Structure 1
Amino acid sequence: MKNRNGIFWGLFLLLSAGILIVSQLHLITYTFSFWTIVATIFLVAMLIKSLVYFMVPGTVFSLAFLAILYAKPLHITAIVPWTVIGAAILISIGLSLILRPFLMKHHPWMRYGHHGGYNWHEQRGYDHNIDVKTVDESDVDVTVKMGSSVRYVTSQDFKQADIDVKMGNAKVYFDNVTVQDTATINVNVSLGGVELYVPRNWNIVKQIDNNNMSGISEEGKPVVTEDSPSITLRGYYSLAGLKICYI
């Protein structure tokens, strides 16, 4: 594993140096911000690490988020972020199913152990590509890192949900919950996507901060009445997509 770590850091430093030199020499006509370069270096690091450790989802999602980051120069703004993220999920699952026999045969450490404290099955969801759970607590926590999760909330006294997504995708269904009066949904998304499925009678009060490379969309139309519960949607999303579906 030490050799793998050496390869990772060596390639990472070389590519980081290349990115910085190209950006400063203005060899590319399109102008990139400082934070775009920082995000690129981070994504390239994740891509190299995923390749070194044969992590299919990590490789696919790193490429997908690089595509989102450079959507304008690549002329693919029409398909970001949701089409790219959706395609990444399907490609990740498909490649994992196709390559799994080969990886298990030639890299048995994926089957039984850890590498650098990282458990392949538990963290990458190799046997369960999408993490699906039903929760009935009043306070709900959803954390996704380089993966996909689905949560069905069935609380009879829903008060708050904290959704934290980094380089992944989360779908949270609130259609079977009961809100006594008010509730809060906190969303923090970086390089990923979140879909919220909420009842039509919810009065969603948006208090969301985003940068210019993110998007928020709504599907369906709310039907708000005097008896509708007030749901405050707070948080921040960067290089990400947030979708509210009224069902």
Structure 2
Amino acid sequence: MRNRNGIFWGLFLLLSAAILVVSQLHLITYTFSFWTIVATIFLAAVLIKSLVYFAIPGTVFSLAFLAILYAKPLGIMALTPWTILGAALLISIGLSLIFRPLLAKKRPWLRHHNYGGHWNGKEYVNFDSHADPDVETVSDSDVNVYVKMGSSIRYVKSDDFKKADIDVSMGDAKVYFENVKIQDSAVINVKASLGGIELYIPKNWNVIKEIDNNLGGVSEVGFSDVAADSPSVTIRGLVSLSGLKINYI
């Protein structure tokens, strides 16, 4: 994680410096406004972060917004913003399907799969977008949740919870941790692309948030009630064009 953050900030600062120098030297005949440059730097940050995390939707949509922003110098004024965004959605879905084997190498919990679902360690789980939500109770210390174009609900029951990997793409997942005991600390890894994740966690957990947000939203519902002996739980990952809601229960 630290190495990826270092790569991101290094590339981001280099690109930002290049944009500022080029804009001040007037090496480009087209004149850009201050806010256009600011938006460009922001979208460039989203693009680089998405590339570092192998997030295809974030990469494609950041390029789409850049195309909308620079439609005139690119000579694509005939394309409306909705046309570009619609094409970006189709491209995101297509590339996600094509590069799924490559992405599985970067996400070990995706390696066992077929076209009808994913392997959760015990059985294949369907992710048909037209099916009812997939509901399951998990009693393992390490929990894997993968949703693609579907909906899943997980009830975690563990006396020694250590880690959860939650990956959602064009779907939604709700994970309940109310019947969980933590010996010392635990980690919840989240990755959401064009989807939503809802976490229901005990309010006495000491939650540490290390979440990268790319054109998404992170919200908290309720209040935490942390004590001296509260377990530490780190929630980390990437939210790209998606939503993450943390519910304290």
TM-score of the superposed pair, with normalisation by structure 2: 0.55
Within the candidate set 203, 207, 223, 2:206 is matched to 203
In structure 2, the CA distance between the partners of 1:175 and 1:44, relative to structure 1 (3 Å rule), is same
> Aligned AA for 2:135?
V
Confirm or deny: 8 A CA contact 1:186 1:234 kept in the other structure: yes
Give the deviation of 1:162 after TM superposition.
0.3
Structure 2: tracts of 5 or more residues without a match: 1-66, 95-113, 118-124
Within the candidate set 212, 216, 235, 1:233 is matched to 235
Give the deviation of 1:123 after TM superposition.
4.2
Identity of aligned residues (%): 54
1:106-162 CA distances to partner (integer Å, 9 max, x unpaired)? xxxxxxxxxxx8559944165x41000000100000000010000000011000000
The DSSP-based 3-state class of the residue aligned with 1:210 is strand
Within the candidate set 196, 201, 217, 1:193 is matched to 196
Give the deviation of 1:193 after TM superposition.
0.4
Give the deviation of 1:210 after TM superposition.
1.1
Within the candidate set 123, 128, 135, 1:124 is matched to 128
Q: Distance in 2 between matches of 1:243 and 1:142?
A: 16
Q: Distance in 1 between matches of 2:79 and 2:174?
A: 37
Q: Distance in 2 between matches of 1:241 and 1:123?
A: 19
Q: Distance in 1 between matches of 2:228 and 2:138?
A: 28
More strand, by proportion: 2
Q: Which residue of 2 aligns with 1:26?
A: 77
* RMSD (Å), alpha carbons: 3.1
Q: Distance in 1 between matches of 2:157 and 2:195?
A: 25
Structure 1: tracts of 5 or more residues without a match: 1-19, 49-116
Give the deviation of 1:47 after TM superposition.
8.1
In structure 2, the CA distance between the partners of 1:168 and 1:176, relative to structure 1 (3 Å rule), is same
1:41 aligns with 2:87: yes
In structure 2, the CA distance between the partners of 1:122 and 1:148, relative to structure 1 (3 Å rule), is closer
The DSSP-based 3-state class of the residue aligned with 1:189 is strand
Aligned residue pair count:
153
Q: Distance in 2 between matches of 1:154 and 1:189?
A: 23
1:133 aligns with 2:136: yes
1:70-97 CA distances to partner (integer Å, 9 max, x unpaired)? xxxxxxxxxxxxxxxxxxxxxxxxxxxx
Give the deviation of 1:46 after TM superposition.
7.5
In structure 2, the CA distance between the partners of 1:180 and 1:122, relative to structure 1 (3 Å rule), is closer
1:180 aligns with 2:226: no
The DSSP-based 3-state class of the residue aligned with 1:176 is strand
TM-score of the superposed pair, with normalisation by structure 1: 0.55
In structure 2, the CA distance between the partners of 1:185 and 1:214, relative to structure 1 (3 Å rule), is same
1:184-235 CA distances to partner (integer Å, 9 max, x unpaired)? 0000111100000000100110001111x21100000000110110001110
Q: Distance in 2 between matches of 1:194 and 1:40?
A: 23
Q: Distance in 2 between matches of 1:195 and 1:160?
A: 16
Q: Distance in 2 between matches of 1:123 and 1:200?
A: 31
Q: Which residue of 1 aligns with 2:219?
A: 217
The DSSP-based 3-state class of the residue aligned with 1:25 is coil
Q: Distance in 1 between matches of 2:138 and 2:186?
A: 16
> Aligned AA for 2:139?
D
Confirm or deny: 8 A CA contact 1:151 1:171 kept in the other structure: yes
